[in-house]
Amino acid sequence: MPLINVYLRQGTTPEHRRNVSAAMHKAMVDVLKIPQDDQFHVFHEVTPDNFHLQPVAFGLPRSERTMFIQLSFNQRTAEQKNELFQAIVNNLRLFADVPEEDIMMVAFETARENWWAAGRVVDPETGYDARMTDVPAETAATN
Amino acid sequence: MPLINVYLRQGTTPEHRRNVSAAMHKAMVDVLKIPQDDQFHVFHEVTPDNFHLQPVAFGLPRSERTMFIQLSFNQRTAEQKNELFQAIVNNLRLFADVPEEDIMMVAFETARENWWAAGRVVDPETGYDARMTDVPAETAATN
Amino acid sequence: MPLINVYLRQGTTPEHRRNVSAAMHKAMVDVLKIPQDDQFHVFHEVTPDNFHLQPVAFGLPRSERTMFIQLSFNQRTAEQKNELFQAIVNNLRLFADVPEEDIMMVAFETARENWWAAGRVVDPETGYDARMTDVPAETAATN
C-alpha cells in the first residue's frame, strides 16, 4: 500500500513509465518486503511551465528526464531507507535507462495505523492481511 | 485546513467527485472536529497509463473506481484515526456509492505549527481562528 | 532538494507561476539556508470541478486565486517554520501580487536521511554536497 507519486516531464512514453514503475516496485518488494501485489504508483506528467527547476543543481546539469519520486511508507531504519534508495537507483538504470543524476527522492514516513486499505484485516503479528498466505517468514513489515 | 489529495481514474463525473468530497468532509468534521468551512480537497484525475496498480491487491480484485486518498492533518491518536477512516468509508458508501474495496487511504500527520492559513490568528486555547464563534466546547483540535 | 507542490486554479499565466516559484524559493534560501540551486517546485493547475473549497473559509471569502502550497523539508524549529511562512507570504505579495488571504500552506517534515538526490555525496558536517563551495559558514542545514 505504500503510495508513490512520481513527478516527471511530459514527453515520456507509457512504456517508459511502466518500466519506471516496475523498477521502483521491485526495490520496494526486495528491500521493504512489501507484498508483491502492493503496488500503488501515480505518475504526474508535468508541463515545462509547471516544473520549476534550475538548469544546474548540486553542481550537476539537470536533464530533460529529471524525475522527483515521492515515497510514503511506515517508519524504517536509516539503513533500510538507504538500501531502498540504492535499489531504486540501480533498478531505474537497469529497467528504464534512467541515470542517477536524474533521480530525486523523498520518503514520508508514517505510523503503521495511518493506512487503510480496501477493508483488509491486518494480522498484528505480521503486518500482513490475514488472507495472505505468502508472507515472508523473517519480516513483520508492511507499508 | 487539512489538505486532502484524491487520486482517481479519469472518467468520473463532477457530481461523483463532489459527493466524494462531501463524504470525506463530513467525516473530518464529525470525527476530527474541524470547522465546517475548513474544506480543501484536490482531485487528480489520472489516465490509465499513469496509474500503476495491480489487478489484484491484498487478494481483492481492483475495480475501475479505485481511489487513493491522501489526508494530512495534525497529530491524532490511533483511535481517532481509525474512527476517521471508518467514517470516511461509511460516508463514501452512503453519499457516493463507493464500495470499501475501492478505497485506499494514508494520513500524513504534522505538528500544529506546520500550517499557515490565509493570515488567520489561531487561539492557542482552542486551536481555532479567533474570529470563529462556533467552536465545539469539548475540543481543542484543528487540522 | 526540498520538494514543493503548489495546487492552484487553472487560468494563471506561466509568468505568474514563475513569480510564485521565485518568491517561494527566495524565502527557502533566506530562511532555511538551502543552496541557491536547490529549487524543485511542481505546479498543479486544478480545474474548478477538481478543487473543492468553500466560498468562505475561516470567515474570509475565498478568491479565484487561492493556492495551496505543500512544502517538504527536514525538521526545523517552530520559530524557523514561522519565519519561513512569513517570508513566503511577504515574497508572494511583493513578487507575484498574491494577497495573504489566498495562501494556504502545510509543511511535511522528514528525517535528514529521507532524501536522495542525483547521487550527490553530502558532507555530514555541513549537510551540503561535498562538491559545493559556497556553503554558508554559520549553518549546517539542507532540505
The chain B residue lying nearest A34, using CA atoms, is B58
- Residues C128 and C135 sit within 8 Å (Cβ to Cβ): yes
The residue of chain C with its CA nearest to that of A108 is: C110
Contacts of C118 in chain A (CB under 8 A): 57-58, 60, 100-104
Q: Which pLDDT tens digit goes with each residue over B117-142?
A: 877 766 656 555 555 544 444 443 44
On whether the CB atoms of residues B62 and B56 are closer than 8 A, the answer is yes
Q: Confidence band (pLDDT; 50, 70, 90) for A43?
A: very high
Name the grid cell of C17: 507561476
pLDDT at A35: 86
Q: Say what the pLDDT of residue A140 is.
A: 39
A36 Cβ contact partners less than 8 Å away, ≥ 6 residues apart: A29, A134
Between A14, A117, A132, which is nearest B104 by CB? A117
User: Would you place residue C88 in the very low, low, confident or very high pLDDT band (cuts 50, 70, 90)?
Assistant: very high
- Helix (H) / strand (E) element for A42: namely strand A40-46
Cα C13 to Cα B45, C51, C62: the distances in Å are 22, 18, 20
State the residue for C-alpha cell 510564485: C20
pLDDT for the residue A128 = 55
Is residue C67's pLDDT more than 90? yes
B54 vs A18, A37, A132: nearest CB: A37
Q: What is the mean pLDDT of chain B?
A: 85
For residue A50, give the chain C residue with the closest CA: C43
The tens digit of pLDDT for each residue in B20-46 reads: 999 999 999 999 999 888 899 999 999
- What pLDDT is attached to residue B45? 97
Return the percentage of chain B with pLDDT > 90, whole number: 65
| pLDDT value of position A135 | 46
Percent of residues, chain A, with pLDDT higher than 90 = 65
Helix, strand, or coil (residue C38): coil
Name which residue leads in pLDDT, A48 or A54.
A48
Mean pLDDT to the nearest integer, B36-60: 88
Range B6-27 average pLDDT: 96
* Banded model confidence at residue C93, pLDDT cuts 50, 70, 90: very high
Chain C residues with beta carbon closer than 8 angstroms to that of A52: 17-18, 21, 25, 39-43
> What pLDDT shows up at residue C141?
45
Percent of chain C scoring above 70 in pLDDT: 81
> Is residue B54 a contact partner of residue A37, using CB atoms and an 8 Å limit?
yes
State the Cα–Cα distance between residues A61 and C56, nearest whole angstrom: 45
Task: Collect all residues of chain C within an 8 Å Cβ-Cβ radius of residue A70.
Answer: 3, 72
End-to-end CA distance of chain B: 6
pLDDT at A121: 66
Q: Which chains border B (3 or more CB–CB pairs < 8 Å)?
A: A, C
Give the distance from residue B43's alpha carbon to the nearest chain A alpha carbon, in angstroms.
13
- Do C1 and C39 meet the contact criterion of CB atoms below 8 Å apart? no
First to last CA, chain C: 6
Q: How far apart are CA C4 and CA C6, in angstroms?
A: 6
Q: Give the per-residue pLDDT at C125.
A: 63
Question: Scanning every residue of chain A, which has its alpha carbon at the shortest distance from the alpha carbon of B106?
Answer: A115
Burial letters for C90-112: b for 16+ Cβ neighbours within 10 Å, e otherwise? ebbeebbebebbbbbbbbbbbee
Asked if B72's CB is within 8 angstroms of C108's CB, the reply is: yes
Q: Which residues contact B12 (CB under 8 A, 6 or more apart)?
A: B45, B65
Contact A106 C120 (CB under 8 A): no
Among the partner-chain residues B46, B52, B81, the one whose CB lies closest to the CB of A113 is B81
Q: How confident is the model at residue C133 (pLDDT cuts 50, 70, 90)?
A: very low
